[in-house]
Structure 1
Amino acid sequence: MSIRLRLTLWYSGLLTVTLILLGGAIYFFTYMNSYGEVKNWLEDGYKQLIAESRGGWDGQIYLNALTNTSIQSELYVQVVNKTAGFVFDKTTNMTVRQLSFPLPDKVDKKQPVYRNVTVKGYPFMLCELALLDRDNNVWVVQIGAFTGSQADYLYDLRTILIIASLAAVLIAFTTGLFLARKALRPIENVIQASRKIATGSDLSYRIPRETPNDEIGKLTDTLNGMLERLETAYNELDDAYHSQRRFVSDASHELRTPLTTIRGNIELLERMWRPALDGDNPSAVLSEVEAAREEMSREAMRDISEEATRMSRLVNDLLSLARADAGIVMDKSNLDLLPIVEDVCRRAQHLPRKAEWIVNDFAILEGVQVYGSADYLRQLLFIFIENAFKYTPSGTVEVSAVCREDRAGIMIRDTGIGMNREEVPKIFERFYRADISRGKTAGTGLGLSIAKWIIDEHNGFVEVMTREGEGSTFTVWLPVAFSRHADSVIMEGMDRRPI
C-alpha cells in the first residue's frame, strides 16, 4: 500500500469515526426528545386515569373512567385482569381497529413500566400500571400511544445522517487522495522504477532526473546507479543460466546413446555367458579358477547393467526437467482416458514389486476424454505407480478411478511406509527424498518433480493423503474435455482383480 493511499485512509478513517460519533449523538438526543414527549403524554394519561378512579378500583369504576373522551381520543387503553389472566376491556379506538396489546409478563405495583411494542405492524409505546381492587385482584392498565410519526421521523433522520456521512467521507477521501498525490509527485518516478524492477520487465529503465539537487534528487541518482549494476549482473546470470540449461539438455542427449550401447552390449554378454554358466554341470567343463573368474565377470556385468540402467533413468529424468525449464509446449489433443489408464495398469504388473497389485474397474472412465499428451500421461501414472511399489515392501498397491463434476481422477493407494505431515509439502521438490526412506530405497528424487510438471502442463492437480506407517494415497485430477456421463461417483469395491 502506497504512502499516499495510507495517509488518505488514515484521515478518512478519522473523519469517519468523528462523523459516526457526531451522528450517533444527534440521533440519540433526537430519539430521547421524541420519545420523551410521548412518555410525558402517557404519564399525564395514567395520572388522569388514576385521578378518575380515586377511591378504589374495579370493573365498574374502570368502565366509568373509560367514558372520559379526552383519554379515549388521545390514547389507547386496555385493562387486563392479571389475576384471572384475561383482557377485561379496551377503549373504542382499539376495538374499532381490532388492536390488542400483548399481555404483560411482569408488572411493578409501585411505579409504571414503559416499553415499546408492535401491534399489527404499528409501533406503540406502552405505560403499564398495576392496581389492586377491594378483593386484592391485580388489574393492569395498559395505556398506549401510537409512535408511527416518531419512528418515521427517526428513520428519515437516520437515512439523512448515513447518506450525508458517506458523501462527506467520499468527498474527503477523493480530495485527500488528490492532494496527497500532488504532494508526493516527486517520488512517483521512483515508485514506477521499483515496480519495473520487481516484475523484471525492463532493467534498462532509468529514473528521469527532474528535481533539483535535494534529497529526492540524490535518491534518484543512487537508484539509477543501482539499476545499472543490477542490469549488468542480471545479464551475466541470464547468460550463465541459458548456458547451463543448454549444457544439461545437450549432455542428456549425448549420454543417452552411449548408455543405450552399454546396456545392449551387457545384455549381449549375459546371453553369451549364460549357456556356460547355467549348464547342468559347469564344474565338469570349467576349472575352478575359470569358474570363479566367470562368476566374477557375471557379477561385474550385473553391476554394470544395474548402474547403466540407473544412469539411463537419471538422464531421462534430467532431460524431462530440462524440457520443463526450457518451457517446451507439449503436443496435446483430445484423448480417451480409459485406454491410457488400462494400458498403464497392464504394463505396471511387470514392474519390480513386492506388494500385491490391485486394479479396480474403470468403467466410470468410459467415454471420458481429456486434452493432453498420451505419452506424458503414461509417464505421469508410471511415476506414481513405481513410487507406490518402491515404498510398499509388503501389503497392497491399488488403483481406481474417480469422477467429480468436470474432472476425472486416477487414485493410487498403497499400504506402505507413508509420510509424516512435515514431509508432504516438499515431496515435489527436485532431489528431495523423505528421511525415513534414505538408504532403504533407490531413487534420484526427480520422479515427483517431473510428475508435478506434467500435471501443471495439463491444468490438473494432485491430492495427497498419507499417514506415517499406514500408507499414502495420490489422486491425480485432470480436467475433462468431454464425458458421456452427466454425474459420476467414486467406484469403490467393484470388480477388484488382484494380479
Structure 2
Amino acid sequence: MTIRLRLTLWFSGILAAALIVLCVAIYFFINMNTYNDMKDQLREQALDYNVLKYEYGLNQMDLNIEKKSIFADKDFYLQLVNYKEGVIKASGALQSSGIKYPIPEAKTNPGYGYVKTYLKTNEGEVPFLIYQRPIYNNTKDQELIGLLQIGTVIVSEEKYLTGLRFILIMSSLIFLILAFTIGLFLARKALQPIERVIRTTEQIQVGSDLSVRIPIEGPKDEIGRLVYTLNIMLSRIEIAYNGLDESYKAQRRFVSDASHELRTPLTTIRGNIELLQRMWSKKLEDGEAGDIVLALDSQRWELSNEAMQDISSEARRMSTLVNDLLALARADAGYEMEKTNVMMMPLVEEVGRRAGLLPRSAEWRIGDLSALDGYQVHGNADYLQQLLFIFIENAFKYTPHGWIEMTATTKENQLGIIIRDTGIGMNPEEVPHIFDRFYRADESRGKTVGTGLGLSIAKWIIDEHRGSIEVTTREEEGSTFVIWLPIDFSPQPASIIMEGTDQNEA
C-alpha cells in the first residue's frame, strides 16, 4: 500500500469518525426536541386523573380528554386497565376501533413511563407513543389496582426522523467519497516530489549513472530539503565511487601488468633451471662429469642439486600463482570467453587420462562416464579442462591415501561431473568460504601448500558457463564435488556426427 493511499485512508477514517459523531449528535438532539413537548403533554394529561383515584372507583372515571390548548394538533387516546376486575376501558376512538394498547403484567411496579410501540390498524401498523402510570388505592399498603395509559400517534414524527436519518447517512457517504477523492488528489500532488526521487534513484540503479540529480521544484518545504540533501549525498557518493573505481581499475591494471611482466622472467628461470638439470643429469649418466665431481666433494654436489630443485619448485609455484592472478584479473575485467559447442564425453575422458599422469599418493579411478555420451555444452573447451583439473588436483593434494574417483550423471537439463575423494575433508561450516580468494580451509592445520586461488578461478569458470557446484564434505572422511553444467540441445555439427558414426563403425 502506497503512502498516498495510506494518508488518504487515514484522513477519510478521521473524517468518517467525525461525521458519525456529528450525525449522532444532530439526530439525538432533533429526536429529543421532537418528542419532548409530546411527552410533556402526555404526562400532564395523565396527572389530571390522579385527583379521581381517591373519590371514585376506576369504572366511574371519565375517559374523555380535553385539549389543554387550542394550538395542540395531537389527539390523545386513553386506556384504563382494572387489574382487580380484569376490565379494560378505552376512550371512544380506541374503543370503537377495537385497538388495545399493550398491557404490562400486574405487579408492584409495572414499568410506568414512556413506551414506543406499533399497533395494528386498518391502515396497517401505526407507531404510538404511550405514557403509562400505575393507580393505587388510598390504603396504607398502597395496593396496585389499575394502570392508566395515554398515547398518541407519531406517524409524522417517525417519517420526519426516518427522512433525517436518510439525509444524514447519504450526505455523510457523499462527503466521504468526495473527501477520499480530493484527499487522494491532494496527496498525489503533495507527494509528487517523492515520485521524482523514486524515478531518479531507479534510473541511477538501472543505469549506474551517479551523475543524475533529482530536479528541485516547488517550495523549500520538508520534501524540498530532502531532495536537496539527497542531491548532496549523490554528489559525494559519485566522487567516492569514481575514486574507488579509478583505484580499482589501477589495481586491476597493476595485477594484469605485474602478471605479464613476471611471466617472462619466471619462464626464463624455469627454462634455465630445467636445462641445467638436464645437462647435469646427462653428463652424470654419460660419465663426462668426472672432473667436476672430483673438484666438488659429494656434500657440495648434493647441496647444489637440492638448491636447483628448490629453485625449480618455487619457480613452478610462482608461475602457477602468476597464471592464477592473470586469470582472475581477466575475470575482474569482464573477460568474455569464446564459446562453441563442446562434446563432453571426449573432453572428460581426455582429462581423466591426463590426470592419471599427475603425481599423487592415492589411487586414481575413472568411473562410469556413460551419462555424458551424446551430450554437448556451450562453452570453452580449454577452460572446462582447467575447471576439472582444479578439482582433481585439489583432490590429489588433500587425499594422502585412499582413492579419488571421477564419474558422471544427469539431472533434468544438466550434466553432472562428480569428483569424489576419501581425503581429509573439511568442516561443513567452511564450505561457503572455499571459493573466496586466498581462503584455505586447512590453513590452521598446515597439511598442504597452495595459494587459495584455484577454487576462485573454478567458480568464475562455472559462472561463465551458467553452471553450479554442489559440495558435500565431512572431516577425515573426504569430499564430493558435483559440477553441474547446462546441456546444449542445439543441433550438432555434421562433422561431429560423422566422426561419432565412424567411431561406432570402427
Which residue of 339, 342, 347 corresponds with 1:332?
339
> What RMSD over aligned residues (CA atoms) do the two structures have, in Å?
3.3
Q: Does 1:243 align with 2:250?
A: yes
8 A Cα contact 2:442 2:448, kept in partner:
no
Give 1:288 deviation, angstroms.
7.8
Give 1:475 deviation, angstroms.
0.6
SS at match of 1:423: helix
SS at match of 1:459: coil
Q: Does 1:467 align with 2:474?
A: yes
8 A Cα contact 2:426 2:442, kept in partner:
no
Which residue of 402, 414, 425 corresponds with 2:421?
414
Residue of structure 1 equivalent to 2:168: none
8 A Cα contact 1:196 1:203, kept in partner:
no
Residue of structure 2 equivalent to 1:52: none
Give 1:10 deviation, angstroms.
8.4
- Worse overlay, 385-394 or 285-294: 285-294
Which residue of 347, 353, 356 corresponds with 1:346?
353
Give 1:205 deviation, angstroms.
1.4
Give 1:220 deviation, angstroms.
2.5
Q: How does 1:54-203 map to 2 (within 5 A)?
A: 180-199=187-206, 201-203=208-210
Structure 2 Cα separation of the partners of residues 255 and 181 of structure 1 = 63
Q: TM-score, normalised by structure 1?
A: 0.60
SS at match of 1:303: helix
Amino acid at match of 1:455: I
Residue of structure 1 equivalent to 2:378: 371
Which residue of 476, 481, 484 corresponds with 2:483?
476
Structure 2 Cα separation of the partners of residues 10 and 353 of structure 1 = 74
Structure 1 Cα separation of the partners of residues 12 and 354 of structure 2 = 68
Structure 2 Cα separation of the partners of residues 436 and 420 of structure 1 = 12
Structure 1 Cα separation of the partners of residues 284 and 11 of structure 2 = 92
Give 1:405 deviation, angstroms.
2.1
Residue of structure 2 equivalent to 1:357: 364
Give 1:339 deviation, angstroms.
0.6
Which residue of 434, 453, 470 corresponds with 2:460?
453
SS at match of 1:481: coil
- Worse overlay, 270-279 or 371-380: 270-279
SS at match of 1:335: strand
Q: Does 1:219 align with 2:247?
A: no
Q: How does 1:196-345 map to 2 (within 5 A)?
A: 196-199=203-206, 201-275=208-282, 286-287=293-294, 289-345=296-352
Return closer, same or farther for 1:475/1:223 CA change in 2, 3 Å cut-off: same
Residue of structure 1 equivalent to 2:410: 403
8 A Cα contact 1:371 1:458, kept in partner:
yes
Structure 2 Cα separation of the partners of residues 342 and 13 of structure 1 = 74
Return closer, same or farther for 1:276/1:231 CA change in 2, 3 Å cut-off: same
Give 1:469 deviation, angstroms.
1.5
Radius of gyration: which is bigger?
2
Give 1:282 deviation, angstroms.
8.7
Give 1:464 deviation, angstroms.
0.8
Give 1:314 deviation, angstroms.
0.5
Structure 2 Cα separation of the partners of residues 414 and 380 of structure 1 = 17
8 A Cα contact 1:359 1:400, kept in partner:
yes
Structure 1 Cα separation of the partners of residues 13 and 334 of structure 2 = 48
**1:199-245 deviation per Cα after TM superposition (whole angstroms, max 9, x unaligned):** 56221112222122333323322222222222222222212211221
Give 1:449 deviation, angstroms.
0.7
SS at match of 1:482: coil
Amino acid at match of 1:412: I
**1:294-325 deviation per Cα after TM superposition (whole angstroms, max 9, x unaligned):** 22211111111011000000011111111111
Which residue of 374, 389, 396 corresponds with 1:389?
396
Give 1:178 deviation, angstroms.
5.7
SS at match of 2:438: coil
Amino acid at match of 2:190: A
Amino acid at match of 1:457: E
Give 1:416 deviation, angstroms.
0.8
SS at match of 2:323: helix
Structure 1 Cα separation of the partners of residues 246 and 233 of structure 2 = 20
Give 1:333 deviation, angstroms.
0.9
Residue of structure 1 equivalent to 2:450: 443
Structure 2 Cα separation of the partners of residues 433 and 177 of structure 1 = 59
Return closer, same or farther for 1:225/1:407 CA change in 2, 3 Å cut-off: same
Return closer, same or farther for 1:472/1:207 CA change in 2, 3 Å cut-off: same
Structure 2 Cα separation of the partners of residues 332 and 3 of structure 1 = 49
Percent of paired sites with the same residue: 67
Structure 2 Cα separation of the partners of residues 204 and 389 of structure 1 = 52
8 A Cα contact 1:338 1:366, kept in partner:
yes
Return closer, same or farther for 1:285/1:471 CA change in 2, 3 Å cut-off: same
Structure 1 Cα separation of the partners of residues 9 and 407 of structure 2 = 55
**1:74-101 deviation per Cα after TM superposition (whole angstroms, max 9, x unaligned):** xxxxxxxxxxxxxxxxxxxxxxxxxxxx
Give 1:258 deviation, angstroms.
1.6
Amino acid at match of 1:187: I
**1:104-133 deviation per Cα after TM superposition (whole angstroms, max 9, x unaligned):** xxxxxxxxxxxxxxxxxxxxxxxxxxxxxx
Structure 1 Cα separation of the partners of residues 295 and 256 of structure 2 = 48
| Count of equivalent residues | 330
In structure 1, runs of 5+ residues without a counterpart are: 15-170, 485-499
Structure 2 Cα separation of the partners of residues 365 and 426 of structure 1 = 30
- Worse overlay, 210-219 or 383-392: 210-219
Residue of structure 2 equivalent to 1:87: none
Q: How does 1:13-52 map to 2 (within 5 A)?
A: none
Residue of structure 2 equivalent to 1:53: none
Amino acid at match of 1:346: R
Return closer, same or farther for 1:428/1:11 CA change in 2, 3 Å cut-off: farther
Give 1:273 deviation, angstroms.
1.9
The structure with higher relative contact order (CA 8 Å, sep 6+) is 1
- Worse overlay, 450-459 or 362-371: 362-371
Give 1:450 deviation, angstroms.
0.6
8 A Cα contact 1:252 1:315, kept in partner:
yes
Q: TM-score, normalised by structure 2?
A: 0.59
Structure 1 Cα separation of the partners of residues 478 and 457 of structure 2 = 22
Structure 1 Cα separation of the partners of residues 182 and 294 of structure 2 = 103
Structure 1 Cα separation of the partners of residues 179 and 260 of structure 2 = 66
